[in-house]
Amino acid sequence: MLHLQQFKKYYHHRLVLAIDDLRLSPGIYWVKGVNGSGKSTLLKALAGILDFEGDIILNNSLNVKRQTRAYRSLVNFAEAEPVFPPYLSGREMTELFISAKNGTQAQAEAYISSMRMQDYINDPVSTYSSGMLKKLSLVLAFIGNPSLILLDEPLITMDSASLLVLYKWIRESNASFLLSSHQEPEAGSLKTTGTLLVAEQTLKLVEP
């Protein structure tokens, strides 16, 4: 599903993350590490929005640097603290993502409904609370037919009912997932394939 080769990321000439060779089979992976260890950096690089040295290959064929458009069409990303143009409504954001990710209106409406966002989806995102922004970012991350969905701190600012909805989305999705989190999911909510531990500028895969 995902292959990282000779991956290195520097900030101001300081190495923050290095991965010689890592292959991940399809599944659900938790990305764990202390603050500043490189979890968000890893996810942003995988999403194709951060420069790095080395290669990232999806599905044995799509290189993020050489087939950028095709790669990014199959990789969706929700940031820990999402920021959207304040003058756009939540519905306008979903329409943009439907177009960019080859999704459908019916698909987006189903996600909006299950998160109970109907009352404010037409309002400008400048009026949204942090929890409302988080829900919108998650809806956008599931639009289309992604092979890989990257969720950075998906559990924060979410009420327990919305978390149950998110777990259901993940279980029913055909995509693979990398989820960074400081907190554990509710017991029995998700069956994970493995854990990626980020520490001391490197990453280690731990099987469940």
pLDDT at residue 187, as a whole number: 59
Q: Look at residue 120 and tell me whether its pLDDT is greater than 90.
A: yes
Mean pLDDT, all residues of the chain: 92
State residue 206's pLDDT score: 86
Cα–Cα distance measured from residue 165 to residue 105, given in angstroms and rounded to the nearest whole number: 19
- Number of Cβ atoms within 10 Å of the Cβ of 119: 7
3-class SS of residue 28: strand
Q: Residue 92: which pLDDT band, with cuts at 50, 70 and 90?
A: very high
Query: pLDDT tens digits for 95-112?
Result: 999 999 999 999 999 999
If one compares 77 and 199, the residue with the highest pLDDT of the two is 77
Tell me the residue length of the chain.
208
pLDDT band at 56 (very low <50, low <70, confident <90, very high): very high
Taking residues 193-206, what's their average pLDDT? Answer: 87
- pLDDT, average across residues 143-156: 94
Distance CA 105, CA 204 (A): 39
Token code pair at residue 127? 């009026």
pLDDT at 94 over 80: yes
- Pick from 117, 73, 75: nearest CA to 94: 117
pLDDT of the residue at 127: 97
What is the residue whose two structure tokens read 């290095």?
A: 18
Cα 65 to Cα 56: distance, rounded to the nearest angstrom: 8
- Residue 132, pLDDT > 90, answer yes
pLDDT of 180 > 70? The answer is yes
Number of structural domains the chain divides into: 1
Nearest to 134 by CA among 166, 87, 172, 100: 166
Could you read off the pLDDT of 151-176 as tens digits, one per residue? Answer: 999 988 889 899 999 999 999 999 99
Q: Compute φ and ψ for 145, nearest 5 degrees.
A: -135, 65
Nearest to 2 by CA among 18, 16, 21, 23: 23
Domain of residue 96 covers: 2-206
CATH number of the domain that 186 lies in? 3.40.50.300
- Give the pLDDT confidence score for residue 208 in this predicted structure: 65
Q: φ and ψ at 3, to 5 degrees?
A: -135, 120
How far apart are alpha carbons 175 and 168 in whole angstroms?
A: 13
